[in-house]
Amino acid sequence: MKFKNRQVIAGDIQVAVLACSKAGLPMRLNCQLIPGYIDNLANIEQYMAWGMGVGCFEFSFSQTFPLSQLSYSKPLVDGWADNAQVDLRAFSLEIAASGRYRAATWDAEVEQCSIWGQSAYGSGSRRRFWQGPQGEKFSLKTFFGFDQEGLPIVGQYDKNTDPELQEGSLAFMVLHPDGVVSASWDQNERVLFSSKLIGAC
């Protein structure tokens, strides 16, 4: 990842977040759950402490997307993301056992600025929300949502049944490194146009 023609470092992110905070812009820091890095409550508390230190109080922690479901012009490490999955049920139980966070109830309305998941935690929602003691809010995003006990539903992701990727639905657009813009995370499916062609006009 490049930022002004150089490698992004933690200080770059801190400067950007501080600038947004001072300007009064709403922010949310997004983080993938990866075993050995961000995979338990202590890890996310450390992450949130850093974020709050630079003025951000809303966070999202997401199940790692199985990249082998997609095709790219340059092959990735086969099966890496599929095997790099955090035990989300154990993770949710650890949050509850800590007693430090207030969970949204099943039918609670929760404000959020993202299209991912529903704004209400309940049937069909793929996010669950918690409020922390210092005013911080964080959510856990899963592929299959949560049961009525508030625990993530276990399953295997299949992009062919992902409602956000079905024909007739335009939930998002992705600009890929080669300039292709598609309505899918897969740059070879649901191609809308190429930004290179627009630049050539």
Q: Helix 41-53 vs helix 88-98: angle between axes, to the nearest 10 degrees? A: 70
Q: Which of 2, 27, 22 is nearest to 12 (CA)?
A: 2
What's the whole-number mean pLDDT along residues 32-37? Answer: 89
What pLDDT is stored for residue 85 in this prediction?
A: 86
Residue 3, in any domain of the structure: no
Report the predicted TM-score, pTM, of the whole model to 2 decimal places.
0.71
Residues near 171 by Cβ (< 8 Å), separated by ≥ 6? Answer: 115, 163, 164, 165, 183
What pLDDT is stored for residue 96 in this prediction?
A: 93
Residues 36 and 24 in one domain: yes
Give the count of domains, the chain: 2
Residues 163 and 143 in one domain: no
Tell me how far apart the alpha carbons of residues 89 and 151 are, in angstroms, rounded to a whole number: 6
Residues 131 and 173 in one domain: no
| pLDDT tens track for 79-128 | 777 777 899 999 999 999 999 999 877 776 655 444 444 556 667 778 88
> pLDDT category, 61, cuts 50, 70, 90?
very high
Residue 4, in any domain of the structure: no
Residue 2, in any domain of the structure: no
Residues 129 and 177 in one domain: no
Domain range for 82? 10-155
| pLDDT tens track for 18-27 | 787 788 777 8
Residue 96, in any domain of the structure: yes
Residues 59 and 130 in one domain: yes
Residues 163 and 123 in one domain: no
Residue 5, in any domain of the structure: no
